[in-house]
Structure 1
Amino acid sequence: EFLGRTDTQTKIRGYRIELGEIETTLQNHPAIANAVVIADQSRPGDPRLIAYLITRAEAISREDLNTHLLASLPHYMLPATYVFLDKLPLTAHGKVDRQALPSPDEQQRRSAPYEAPQTKVEREVAQAFGESLGIERVGRNDDFFELGGNSLLIARVGAILAGLYGVDLPLPLLFTQPTVEGVAGTIELFWKGGYQGLQDSRDPATMLSEIQLDPDIKPDGLPMADIMDPSGVFLTGATGYLGIFILEQILEQTSADVHCLVRASSPENAIDRLKRTAETFKVDWDEKFRTRVKPVVGDLSEPRFGLSEKAFTDLAGKIDSIYHNAALVNFVWPYSVLKGPNVYGTVEVLRLACTTKVKIVHFVSTIDVLVGSHMPRPFLEDPLPQLPPHVPFSYPQTKWISEKIVELAKERGVPTTIFRPSIMMGHTETGACHQTDYILVGLRGFLELGILPEYDEVLNCTTVDYASKTFVHITMQEKSIGEIFHLWNVDAIPTMATYDWVRSYGYEFEVVPFSEAVERARRVSPGHPIYPLLPVLFLYESGEAGLPMRWDDHLKLDPRLECAHTLSAQEGTDITAPDIDEKWMHDSLSFLIERGQLKPPSAIKLLAGSAEGQRR
């Protein structure tokens, strides 16, 4: 039976959600005449949001609806499924009869024509898709993500297929082609050649075809903008964790107006999104923000960000420098899903840099282009080789390709800088953390299991205020043009050194081997906070996440070599990396508890006591 909750509030994966707020936002879309949103509880432990829509004459896609919602709502308030109806069922009193709403029909979710699975493996993969998504009939050409798949559901499909075939593969590899036919083909290739056979099929040379920059993106004949004293700056990713602090530092260190690209339904909604991000991470939205932040409503993955040619050209005339920080960061989704915003978005940023006048592009990459491609240490601040030693998994693959595209632009005469940050966690004054960072998700989930895993790797993270201040400072130095900089802590510590600080905060736990921690995580229900991290844990188990950065190996090299350009740029300033110590950890934990993203020690103890009582 398919029944939704009739109250207006629900809780999904730890987030409290106001259903009426989603309905109102949907109804503000010009194509939507009416909307009803429910929390489907038909699968125990795995509630999901379903939106029932009455549309006007014009058609609207799932992607358009998600973009509209993300303009004013957080990601966890996106419906898993949209159902389009001719009319809503009503009670005798004229109110929506929520219990009479139909179960989502798979054909309403499908963009490709239905074609039946052809082989036994395809049929079983289709069944796994359907079981996870709550769809009765799935075709061989159906894309898992177009049908409503997300990081939680892809983990469930992976578990089903691992049980069926013993195919315990990293999900970005298993879902390289996220259709039924594509996943079945990967399984069959695994049967023929094993894991090594799959690895051998991933020729690094295939990445070369992705490194392309339109021939018309070039600075030839254009005047140079005032890149060292900009009056206008273009910033992407300002609604993210690092992005809001980059925005703060640009306002602090320059006098420029900052034009922020934001997915929104209007400039007012864009400003609201930026304000909410600032509030979330305790950034003071003061006079500088109110007068100098200029919203640009657009989408990174669209040509010209979805702007008209005139609007794009007008924007280009106002900009002297570009800070490209935005990316879709996901360690589970395949390259095909991440390519649009991460690779095409970089191309469109470079197009803006070569329109009207030549602008400098400051590109934010990631340490994972080195770790994920199995580059040997020390990690030097050098351009990437033509081909990686190992094809990185999906997210760092998009960043590798984007770096190479930025290099192409540099060769054509576009001034650039590239920054490779490592993990950023905490703020020296507020403790502000990115709540969905995989390390913190793991901490939250494992603590509820009463364990933390043995993990003999380097923790070279730094605080977000240090990273953003250093980043913007370097971009304002002329000698930085054309260089690459690493943003991480040269005074790294062993990851397990932080466990004593977690204990001194009041948490009780047992340290267990990593393999045992993963095995315990496998046994949790989908509603457990560790469940969404399972694909990342499998990624690390397989070695696909990259070569281990062992503490013993770290002690054999001079980490200052890995940040030589950054350290040189800091000379003569008061910018120094803060200590990663007990206070840093306690401030971070306090922030997470305050934001409701981590249970306090007392609640964890009650949880452990309840579990012990149930076992007895």
Structure 2
Amino acid sequence: MSPTRQLANDPLTSSWAAGLRSSLRAYARTHLPDAMVPAHFVVVPELPKLPNGKVDRGSLPPLTADETPETAFVAPRTQVETELARIWQDLLGLSKVGVETSFFDLGGDSLTVLQMAAQVRDVYDVRLDLRRMFEDPTVAQLARMVSSQADPTVTGAGNPRGVASEAMVADAVLPADIVPEEGALPPSTGPYRTVLLTGGTGYTGAFLLRELLDRSAATVHVLVRADGAAQASERVRENLAEYGLLRDGDEERIIGVPGDTGRPYLGLTKSTYHELAAEVELIIHNAAISSWIVPYAKIKPVNVFGAMEVLRLACRKRVKAVHFVSTIGVYPGHEGARSWPETRLTEADHVVGGYRQSKWVADSLMLQARDRGVPAHVYRLGAITGSQTTGACSPDTFINHLIKGCVQLGAYLDYDLLLDLVPVDFCAATVVHTALSGGRAESVFNVPSARSVSMNEIFELIVAYGYPLRRLNYQDWYRELAAAVERGEENELAVYLPLFGADRPAEEVGYLGSKPDFRTDNLRAALDGSDIACKPVDRELFDRYLDYFVSTGFLPAPPGGTARPENQWSALS
């Protein structure tokens, strides 16, 4: 018998193959966009070869939907599991479904999971907790949810997007090689001739770039995912133009650099890496995956490893100051009052969700690098909102998705959380002004809003603008939202359903009764004597944001027009 021939009943090989598929899929999820992660993996003893030694693709076994990823097949064990498995089979076009296999690993997606939930409701007359379904999308979990005797461990499930605080602390150890190399030139204190900006094709990045161009004479290299230098520069200019920030002559001082923050050496060619290491005098590191629903493992390459790669570059040829854009989300969530000084982080517990945890780790790495001689500075920004001068606002933030989703639903949630909304142009001016000042002794800057506002206040401003939104208690609001999404109605919050449970939202959304006090002693010292000031979020400023959203089509115009007098605000030009 051939040594590679698989036995008809070989549980050890089957278990090993299942483990390999699981590892391959986890690796793919970490390094690839969702759409590119293979739905199925086929494990073979060896690859068939042609006489010339190349793989004989024609002899590879066919991909079949019967391949069950992640775990070996576990058959339904109860009548409920059997019926639910049949629903999944019909919906996904499979001949069998294991009860411990993830719905998404079988080929499902956010749309089909909602279709599945609707079918389950029709059969069992129960409305699923979609947040729990996203957290553990298996037939076994689903059977417990529809059962009259719910498993109490299900409702106590941990946050699936994050990791334990011990894992965060373990990741927050700066590698030994990140230290200024022998013979490196000392850091410059300005004026700076060459600056590197990461995240320059994002919303905050556009305003950071504008401030760099306006407040200095430096040439700005902008790291961009692109096929070449020309495309990189074009992407940067298009992003500036999108928010009305492009000026004549900008192209002479902007150099697009094809690269990738989530790859070794920032995805740069060897020659470009050495060139930047020698020429760049200042780095503003803004690049990050900021989605609240992406797990820590998937965010880690860009947000954590990317921070390490930026610090490595800062240590080569010439020591460079690194100004890192962080978030006040690195502070743990707490009920009641708590003061947060501008100092290094010491608490990892209750920092929840992949995004906040990755920022906590990167924030910690930056200050460790400072201990080794890299002049690193950290800016913990509040929730970024629109420009306080033009109203230009990114639609791609959680709070703005929440606003649009509630407008589409015609109702908002009565869940009174405090929000720290900070205008993007104030944040950008603060970071760039402080960075260009050079040689500041302070290492951490809290950049909160001028005045915290409650979520209910925000929605009252939206109602005052002219949107007829009903105010519902959280449970009723969630039921209406889940029902609308299950019916297939378009709603901006569909992708955020994992953040909402039947009884309360996930911790990432915020803590009821939390009253943080963010100290700003270092911030005030850095801005002393400048003209940089933060406007509070009030009726005047929020009307400007809503005007912008209506003008761009992100929001429909209120049915009866705006409620404010027409002569109070002119339309955005």
Fold conserved between structures, TM > 0.5: yes
- Taking a change above 3 Å as real, the CA distance of residues 154 and 476 of structure 1, as seen in their structure-2 partners, is farther
Cα RMSD for the two superposed structures:
4.4
- Equivalents in 2 of 1:156, 1:212: separation in Å? 44
What displacement does 1:282 show? Answer: 1.9
- Residue in 2 that maps onto 1:343: 304
Q: Which moved more, 1:193-202 or 1:456-465?
A: 193-202
- Taking a change above 3 Å as real, the CA distance of residues 594 and 542 of structure 1, as seen in their structure-2 partners, is closer
Match of 1:218 among 170, 179, 202: 179
- Residue in 2 that maps onto 1:260: 222
What displacement does 1:327 show? Answer: 0.8
Match of 2:340 among 372, 379, 394: 379
- Equivalents in 2 of 1:172, 1:481: separation in Å? 49
- Residue in 2 that maps onto 1:314: 275
Match of 1:118 among 71, 74, 78: 74
- Taking a change above 3 Å as real, the CA distance of residues 484 and 509 of structure 1, as seen in their structure-2 partners, is same
- Residue in 2 that maps onto 1:296: 257
Q: How does 1:103-252 map to 2 (within 5 A)?
A: 107=63, 116-118=72-74, 120=76, 168=129, 174=135, 191=151, 193-196=153-156, 198=158, 203-221=164-182, 222-252=184-214
Partners of 1:416 and 1:481 within 8 A in 2? no
- Taking a change above 3 Å as real, the CA distance of residues 544 and 499 of structure 1, as seen in their structure-2 partners, is closer
- Equivalents in 2 of 1:146, 1:344: separation in Å? 26
Residue identity matched to 1:332: I
What displacement does 1:341 show? Answer: 1.2
- Equivalents in 2 of 1:233, 1:109: separation in Å? 51
What displacement does 1:232 show? Answer: 1.2
Residue identity matched to 1:225: P
- The 3-state SS of whatever aligns with 2:256 is strand
Match of 1:535 among 498, 508, 526: 498
Partners of 2:39 and 2:105 within 8 A in 1? no
What displacement does 1:417 show? Answer: 0.5
- Residue in 2 that maps onto 1:51: none
Partners of 1:486 and 1:562 within 8 A in 2? yes
- Taking a change above 3 Å as real, the CA distance of residues 581 and 308 of structure 1, as seen in their structure-2 partners, is same
Q: How does 1:390-405 map to 2 (within 5 A)?
A: 390-405=350-365
* Correspondence 1:508 to 2:468: yes
Match of 2:231 among 262, 269, 278: 269
- Equivalents in 2 of 1:540, 1:240: separation in Å? 34
- Taking a change above 3 Å as real, the CA distance of residues 499 and 375 of structure 1, as seen in their structure-2 partners, is closer
What displacement does 1:255 show? Answer: 1.4
- Residue in 2 that maps onto 1:593: 550
What displacement does 1:151 show? Answer: 6.4
- Taking a change above 3 Å as real, the CA distance of residues 593 and 546 of structure 1, as seen in their structure-2 partners, is closer
- Equivalents in 1 of 2:84, 2:279: separation in Å? 51
Match of 2:383 among 415, 420, 423: 423
Q: How does 1:358-373 map to 2 (within 5 A)?
A: 358-372=319-333
* Correspondence 1:567 to 2:529: no
- 1:86-125 deviations in whole A, cap 9, x for unaligned? xxxxxxxxxxxxxxxxxxxx94999997864336499999
- Residue in 2 that maps onto 1:581: 538
- Taking a change above 3 Å as real, the CA distance of residues 150 and 269 of structure 1, as seen in their structure-2 partners, is farther
- Taking a change above 3 Å as real, the CA distance of residues 267 and 135 of structure 1, as seen in their structure-2 partners, is farther
Partners of 1:417 and 1:482 within 8 A in 2? yes
What displacement does 1:534 show? Answer: 2.0
- Taking a change above 3 Å as real, the CA distance of residues 420 and 405 of structure 1, as seen in their structure-2 partners, is same
Q: Percent identity?
A: 26
- Equivalents in 2 of 1:603, 1:127: separation in Å? 49
- Structure 2 gap ranges (5+): 1-26, 41-61, 563-573
Residue identity matched to 2:328: I
- Equivalents in 2 of 1:224, 1:218: separation in Å? 13
- Taking a change above 3 Å as real, the CA distance of residues 149 and 344 of structure 1, as seen in their structure-2 partners, is farther
* Correspondence 1:490 to 2:446: no
What displacement does 1:301 show? Answer: 1.0
TM (norm. structure 2) is: 0.74
- Taking a change above 3 Å as real, the CA distance of residues 542 and 549 of structure 1, as seen in their structure-2 partners, is closer
TM (norm. structure 1) is: 0.70
- 1:183-235 deviations in whole A, cap 9, x for unaligned? 99x99xx9574555747996422322222333222114222232432211111
Partners of 1:110 and 1:146 within 8 A in 2? no
Partners of 1:324 and 1:361 within 8 A in 2? yes
Residue identity matched to 2:392: A
- Structure 1 gap ranges (5+): 1-60, 68-74, 84-105, 606-616
* Correspondence 1:462 to 2:428: no
Residue identity matched to 2:272: A
What displacement does 1:309 show? Answer: 2.7
- The 3-state SS of whatever aligns with 1:346 is helix
